[in-house]
Amino acid sequence: MRPEIREYNYDWLMGSTLKAAAAVPSGSKKETEQTYRYIPNYRKVAETFYSAGEPGVLALKLLATYFQNILTAHDRGKPIAATTFCNSPVLLYAMDVVPATFEILTALGGVLWKRGMFDYMDYCCEIGMTETSCSSQRGAMGAVMSGLFESIDFVVCDTPGVCDTNANAFAFVSEYLNKPFFQLNYPSSIGDDRSQNYHVDDYKAMIRFIETQTGKKLDYDRLAEALTEVDRQDALIADLEDMLLLKPMPIPPLFNLALYCGRFCFSGHPEYTRLLESLVRSARQRVSDGVPGLTSGKENLRVFMCYIDHYTVDMNFYNYLEERGIALTGSILTRNFRDNNKYTEDMPGSSYGINLSSPEAMLDTVAQMNARLPMVRSIRGPYDRPGMWLEESLALAKITQADCVIYNGTPGCRNTWGMVKPFARDMERHGYPTHIMYDDAFDDRVESWPGTRERLDEFFHIRGLL
């Protein structure tokens, strides 16, 4: 690792940057303009968030709070759990644990920081982690394992059987730092009684593990409060998801990122509710004004990202969509599969509901909710089985009137690279032009952003889409 990277802890550096960035728009427009002169490396990112108005600023504040929570956790007597994006933080918050979600921490460094997360990723390889493992964990992991991050207290992951590289990364961190480890494990099926019961049994085991680590029993009143907040949030998300169906779409591409990033960071937290309320307000205003979400004012194309977005530096991917007039109908990360969403009607067993009537009901709620987070929901079994990736992607592409489908991931994503070619062929057979991106969503060294952009343009051009 380069010595200068060791000058500052990653969490402190990012937390301070975001805190300052979130405060800038509180000043006058002139002050903001003046600030740009001093932050040439961050200008493009800052402009992207500020130009989104209140939701953009609230998103920055939420992210700043996320880092501050981590930075102050130990002073406040709270343990930090290393965890993954597809493990809901609701239970962790209810048990007074601060989550450090590796993929979010890596993605933020990627989009906000000119130098990206490369040094941290490489550090993992320096100490023996395979270079072929997923970059989404390796970024934050490198910071944690090199001691440039608050020390974590234990590890909780939930991807064994769904994404080996993810689970393997967490197992590695646990062993390398000698921290306690727990894995939630999902069967290949979903929606049937047997799988549902397995989710609950496994979730109970996770609660026992966290109780052992924290020395505190799960407070069901607190869990009920958090789930009530989730209920409120799900209603707002449903509004946003409904508006993703409108043509032209009133949701700017950046809102997608804010929607799922907020959920992964603060599900069940009022912080996220405030952001969602602002996103809904802003989108509704556009609907009533008859203005599309794209700043260009013209929607040329509707794209469905069947896996994840691209987290290249300077928010380039989102800005590219804006430039080309491409409406983003969402990615696998966008939807929450709550039972009040229309798209779940055609997929029996795909959704979860919220029931607070008893502790058992709450446990069932949170276990089923967790099992329906992105990736662990629909990439757990063979992709062409009912309720799995193909069915989900077709349903979402159809309902959002997508013109085409794009796969983007990381080379470390063994679970999708194992079958994305036949998957893409099936999508094409159903009439959706489908493009497979060979880049790395978190690591521009695999394919430079200009290269990726050129390939996207080529796809849109050759398929007659743009």
Which residues contact other proteins (rule: CB under 8 A)?
Answer: 127-130, 132-133, 157, 160-161, 163-165, 167-172, 174-176, 181-183, 185, 187-189, 194, 197-198, 201-202, 205, 381-384, 411-423, 425, 438
Within 8 A by CB and 6+ apart from 215, the residues are: none
How is the beta sheet containing 181-183 ordered, strand by strand?
98-101, 80-83, 154-157, 181-183
d(CA 163, CA 305) in angstroms, rounded, equals 19
Alpha carbon 304 to chain centroid, angstroms: 16
Residue with smaller CB distance to other proteins, 4 or 193: 193
Q: How near is the Cβ of 465 to other proteins at its closest, in Å?
A: 23
Distance CA(422)–CA(328), nearest Å, equals: 24
Query: What are the E-state strand segments in 152-194?
Result: 154-157, 181-183
DSSP 127: T
Please give the distance of CA 459 from its chain centroid, rounded to a whole number. Answer: 26
- Beta bridge partners of residue 82, listed in sequence order: 100, 155
CB closer to other proteins out of 352 and 383: 383
To other proteins, the closest distance from the beta carbon of 37 in angstroms equals: 43
- In angstroms, what is the minimal distance from the CB of 200 to other proteins? 9
Choice between 131 and 458, CB closer to other proteins: 131
Of the pair 164, 239, the CB lying nearest other proteins is at 164
Report in angstroms how near the CB of residue 207 gets to other proteins at its nearest: 14
Q: Which is nearer to other proteins, 268 or 411 (CB)?
A: 411
Least Å from the CB of residue 463 to other proteins: 21
AA letter at 266: F
The counts of H helices and E strands in the chain are 19, 8
Question: Between residues 129 and 321, which has the closer beta carbon with respect to other proteins?
Answer: 129
Q: By C-alpha distance, which of 5, 190, 188, 29 is closest to 109?
A: 5
- Tell me which H or E stretch contains 303: strand 301-305
Collapsing DSSP to helix, strand or coil, 62 comes out as helix
Dmax over CA atoms of the chain, in Å, equals: 61
Minimum separation from the CB atom of position 434 to other proteins (A)? 14
What residues are paired with 305 via a beta bridge?
406
Shortest CB 137 distance to other proteins, Å: 11
Look up residue 69 and give its two tokens.
């929570």
Q: Which is nearer to other proteins, 11 or 439 (CB)?
A: 439
Helix (H) or strand (E) holding 223: helix 220-243
Nearer to other proteins by Cβ, of 365 and 416: the residue is 416
Of the pair 72, 197, the CB lying nearest other proteins is at: 197
Closest listed residue to residue 361, CA positions, set 203, 232, 188, 229: 203
**CB 181, min distance to other proteins, A:** 5
- The distance of closest approach from Cβ of residue 150 to other proteins in the complex, given in angstroms and rounded to an integer, is 23
What are the phi and psi torsion angles at 70 (to 5°)?
-70, -45
